Structure formats: structure tokens, C-alpha cells
Chains A and B, each alone.
Chain A
Amino acid sequence: MAQLTENSRVVGARHSAEAARPKRRRFRADGAGKQQQAGPIAYVFLIVAALLSLFPLYWTVVAASRTDTEIVTPPTPLLPGSHLIDNLKIVWDQVDMTKALINSTIVASFVAVSTVVFATLAGFAFAKLEFRGRNALLTVVVATMTIPPQLSVIPLYQIITNLHWFDHLQSVILPSLVAAFGVFFMRQFLSEALPIELIEAARVDGAHSLRIIWHVVFPIARPAMAVLGMLVFVQSWNDFFWPFIALDQQNPTVQVALAGLGSGNHTVDHAIVVTGCLVATLPLLLVFAVLGKQIVGGITAGAVKS
């Protein structure tokens, strides 16, 4: 930080980054002044939608604190019970939840950081640098988003078994090191937020590309990088298809462990399965509770321009 403030270029960068923000706020305020007031019917619909969205989450908490018998005997309980601790113990007995949580944290952090860094580099190149084949390559990036993961799992599975990577975390990390969505997201952000004059000025001062990345692009891209990091973390934490194939219960991510609770050798105890779901979801719900506004802002910011 201190390094950066000495640098007049970066001070300029910060000015323009701040200038970009009031732009949006002012725009929204303009719109809001002329907006119609919501009527009672709108409130009714929204309250119903909010209840439908939140009820399954609430019921997860209820069922996680009850016994199997209580859940399967109608009428289904609507208030939390007293068995949460017992259920958690059984979850930990049945699957290696500590390992699963650690694994998911490792995988999601790794994937988030590398996606953000690589996507920022590529997004910057596509947004602001001139090179031959730029538009064609950008089209390729966007087109790859439509390829379903199903098309690559069979060879990937053969590759990881040949490399003896089955059940090792690198088999789920490496294919996700960077995603087309991230590249596109950063490109959209940087085309608007990064004035070309800044780069030209830095070039005139003799800065090479890596210096420009570090001192100009990263400081300006920081808000978008944070949002992208969160989105990728959530996605990676929740990813199911490929981890389910590449890992097993010896070294699972949380989602794979959940699948193990749901089926597997144990007689299925519904309270235990739901408790597992609670454990898997709680970390992300906490993140949402704290950063909900930023996440909402990020999703909406990334979407309009596309």
C-alpha cells in the first residue's frame, strides 16, 4: 500500500476508480426518484418469495436438531429440537467431515485465487491491449462456456487414474485453475473502469507490462477481483459433478462427503443427512450474511454488460 501511494500514477488510478463508483450511485439515485412505489400486492408476492427461499434453509436447521424418528413422524416438527450436538457427532463418525471441510477450503481457495489472477491478466489483455486475433480469441473464450463438463470427464478420469491422482486434490484443482466466465467478467469490468491513458502514461514512463499489471491494473481491478473471488469460491465449494467422480470417501470435499452420507453403507438416518447439509452450507451462509450486499452487487454488475 505505502509503495503504491508514492506513485503518482496510482494516485491517479485511485481517483478514476472512485470516479467510477459515484457514477453508478448517482445513476441509481436518479432512477429511484422517478420510481414507482411498491403497492401491497408487490409486498405480498415478495414476502411469499422470501419465505419460499428461506424456509428450506430454516427447516434444515430444524431437522438437523431432531432425531430421525421425529422427522419421519407427521406432523413434521417446525421448531428446532435438542439433538444438534448428537447429530453432529454422528456425522463426524460416519464421514471424515473435518478433512472434507479442510479439503473444500483448500480447493475453493486455490481455485478462487488462481482464477482471479489469471482472469484479471487475460481480461486486461482482452480489454486494453492490441494484438492480432484478439476478437477471434475472445469469441473462443466465450464459446467454451457452452461446452458441458460431461464431454471431458471420461478422458480426464483416465488421465487422473494414469497419473495416480485419483482421490488427490490436484485432480479437482487443476482443471478449474481458470474459467472462461472469469476472463469475460474481468474483461467487461476493465474495459470500462481502466482508462487507456493510464496505461499509456505508464508505458511512457518506461514501465514494462508486469509493472503495469501490478501498479495500475490490480489496484483498479481490486473491487471486481474481490467479487469474482467470492463467486468462484462459492461455485467451487458447491461443485459436485467432477469431484464426485475424481474423489472418494477417503479424501472427499464437503459435497462428496454429503453424497456419502446420503447413500453408502449406513442405513440412511435422515436427521444425519440433513445435519451434513447444514455443515456443508453454513460456511457459505455466513459469508452471505456478512457480504450479501457485495455479492448481490457483484452478480448484478457482471450481468448487465453481457
Chain B
Amino acid sequence: MATSVRAADGSPPPARSAPSAPAPDGRRSAGWRSRLYRFDTKASPYAFISPFFLVFAAFGLFPLIYTGWLSLHQVELGAPAHWVGFRNYTRLWDSSFFWTALRNTFTLGVISTVPQLLMALGLAHLLNFKMRARGFFRVAILAPYATSIAAASLVFVQLFNPDYGMINQFLGHLGVHGIQWETSKWPAQIAISAIVTWRWTGYNALIYLAAMQAVPADLYEAAALDGASRWRQFISVTIPSIRPTIFFTIIVSTIGATQLFGEPMLYGGGVGISGGSAHQYQTLSLYMYEKGWQTGELGQASAVAWVMLGILLLIGTVQLFVLRINRRTAGG
């Protein structure tokens, strides 16, 4: 597709007329030269991709497998490991803290991604209109992306403070008083989701916007000729056309949500690692950190890590399955 467009632009063909015969220079040395050439074309692709695979093998794959090995052992820092089979996993199964963390990861994941992606979709739709100050709006909604998890969390802690925070002051004007944004479970989870949503909505909106701009205009014209309203066009032209992008953002956000760590940790301040005094917002990542670095049970922590991988694989499989069904029903 790219080449046809480029040809239509009438740009000069970039390559000079290339003789398909062997290299014109040096017939004498053709033997070793062509051997060298063949070696170069054979080996260099692997050389070019090797840095990624070396780094991944050393810092991704090996630790991943080693974590699996650790999860089958009882390990404390500085002491030799000994085999315990699946006991780390069965202990997780029996631990109410683990189930709390699992539930929290799930609920935080849902309330931090679903509204976020819906709002991003709406914003992208609005940004796709012809308007003034388009550039300003785009940069403005992306600005939170420039902040770090740490900075955003620490600032939101102030805004959500039950006693002096601006949000409770504002809600006070509306007649809602004294929401405990840290100590009660749902308000705390909503506050943490607000941090995630604030940081990522603009980013996702821009991704959707880019996909929407690639939707051919004649699709809309045809829909308009058929008498479809703007809303109707959004539902039956825009959404189906950007479906791959929507799936992409869902997958990326799900992965991010499963790993949620910095926001709840810093939101909780002194009790961040346990996810609040009653573990009301402790995620799996925090639970793993608490096991590994607070109580020093590395085997338990590794088991939590592998459970997270299992969950991601499960979600990924479900998503792929849905994607496939979706493609089939869309007739694509």
C-alpha cells in the first residue's frame, strides 16, 4: 500500500537502475567476496536482533524460570533453599490476604481501565471534529502522561485527603461530606483508580484518535446518505473500524492493571505496602513485595509472581478467543 501511494505522489524511483548481474567490481576476488556477501546476508539479521534476545534472555527469561524454581522452594535471603513442592502455592490458597489481594487487583483493574477507555473513546471522538485549538486540547490531555507514578500519586494523596483535601471540600459544596478516601475500601480503590485514569486517559484518547483518522471518509458519507445520525455513525462506523486498536488498548491496560504497584503503595504512605491498614487496596504486586522484602519469604513471593503470570495468560487467552469470535461475526 505504501509503495502505491508513493508512486502516486510521483516521487522519483529511489533506486538507480540496478543491474541484476553480480557486483560489477572485482571479478578476480569474486569467489571470497560472494562467500563473504552470502555470510553477511545470512548472519547479519541474527546479529541485528541478537541484542534484544540477549537482554531478554538475561533479564527476562532466566529470571522468569528462576522465579518458577524459587516458587517450589522455601527460600530466605542468605539461607540455602530447600524443596517444598507446591506448598508455597497451597499456602497462598489458604491465605485470606492472598485472596484479598487477588480480589483487589481485579476490582482495581476494572474500575481503573473500563471508565478510562470509555472516556478515551469519547474524547477521541470529540477531538476528531474540526475545531479551534485542536493542538492545545491534544497536548493538554496528554500532559498527565508526562508525570510519573510517584509524582501523580503523591499529589493525589493531597487532593484526596479526607480532612483538608480539595476533593472533599468540593464534594462538601454538593452536600456530600467526609468520604474516607483512604480507610474505607471502595473510596480508596476509587481514588487509586483516579490516579491511573488521570495518567492514561489522554494517551489512550490519542491512540484512538489516530485510528479514527485512518477511517476512510466515504464510509461516513455512505452512512450519512443512508440517514444515519452522528451517534449512529459513531456506533456503526467508527467503533467497528477501530476495533483492532480498541483490542490493543484493552490488552495493554489489562497488563498494566495486573501489575498495579506504585500507585497504591505511595497512596498508602506508611501503610502502602500492606495496601492500607486492613489490606483494603493491597494488590498482588504489593502482596508479592510484602512477602519478598518485608517478611523475607522469597519462595512465597515467587509463587505470587507465577500466579500473576498464570492470570495474565488466562486473560490473554480469553481476549484472543473473544477477538477471534469478534472477527468472525464481523465477517472480516
Contact = CB atoms under 8 A, between A and B. Distances in A.
B52 A118 contact: yes
B6 A288 contact: no
B240 interface: no
B261 A241 contact: yes
B154 A258 contact: yes
Contacts of B196: none
A245 B261 CA distance: 12
Contacts of B332: none
B187 interface: no
Nearest to B209: A300
A100 B47 CA distance: 35
A53 B70 contact: no
A287 interface: yes
B9 A303 contact: no
A50 B140 contact: yes
Nearest to A286: B146
A129 interface: yes
B135 to A, nearest CB: 6
A192 interface: yes
Contacts of B42: 131
Contacts of B2: 20, 192-193
B206 A299 contact: yes
Residue among A37, A76, A203 having the largest count of chain B Cβ atoms under 10 Å: A76
B92 to A, nearest CB: 15
A59 B150 CA distance: 16
Contacts, number: 356
Contacts of B48: 121-122, 124-125, 129, 209, 213
Given A274-B155, A300-B210, A141 B52 contact: yes
A135 interface: no
B122 interface: yes
Contacts of B16: 8-9, 12, 201
A230 B145 CA distance: 13
Residue among B6, B161, B298, B302 having the largest count of chain A Cβ atoms under 10 Å: B6
Interface residues of B, number: 123
B14 A198 contact: yes
Interface stretch (A80-88, A89-97, A221-229, A277-285): A277-285
A79 interface: no
Contacts of B214: 304
B142 A43 contact: no
Contacts of A205: 23
Contacts of B11: 15-16, 18-19
Interface in A108-125: 118-119, 121-122, 124-125
B151 A37 contact: no
Interface stretch (B96-104, B274-282, B308-316): B308-316
Contact of B141 (A50, A121, A306): A50
Given A148-B258, A201-B16, A299-B207, A263 B169 contact: no
B217 interface: yes
A52 B214 CA distance: 28
Interface stretch (B61-69, B82-90, B110-118): B61-69
Contact of A125 (B49, B165, B269, B284): B49
Nearest to B301: A154
B245 A32 contact: no
B14 A49 contact: no
Contact of A259 (B145, B266, B293, B308): B266
Interface string B1-21: 011011001011111101110
B129 interface: yes
Interface in A48-77: 49-50, 52-54, 56-57, 59-60, 63, 71-76
Given A149-B259, A209-B41, A245-B293, A15 B12 contact: yes
B146 A281 contact: yes
B51 A258 contact: no
A258 B150 contact: yes
Interface of A: 8-9, 12-13, 15-16, 18-20, 22-23, 28, 30-32, 34-39, 42-43, 45-46, 49-50, 52-54, 56-57, 59-60, 63, 71-76, 118-119, 121-122, 124-126, 129-131, 134, 137, 141, 144-157, 159, 174-175, 177-178, 180, 183, 192-193, 195, 197-198, 200-201, 203-206, 208-210, 213, 234, 237-238, 240-241, 244-245, 254-255, 258-259, 261-263, 268, 270, 273-274, 276-278, 280-281, 284-285, 287-288, 292-293, 295-296, 299-301, 303-304, 306
10 contacts: A13-B14, A35-B129, A53-B201, A59-B155, A63-B155, A148-B285, A148-B309, A195-B6, A209-B48, A258-B150
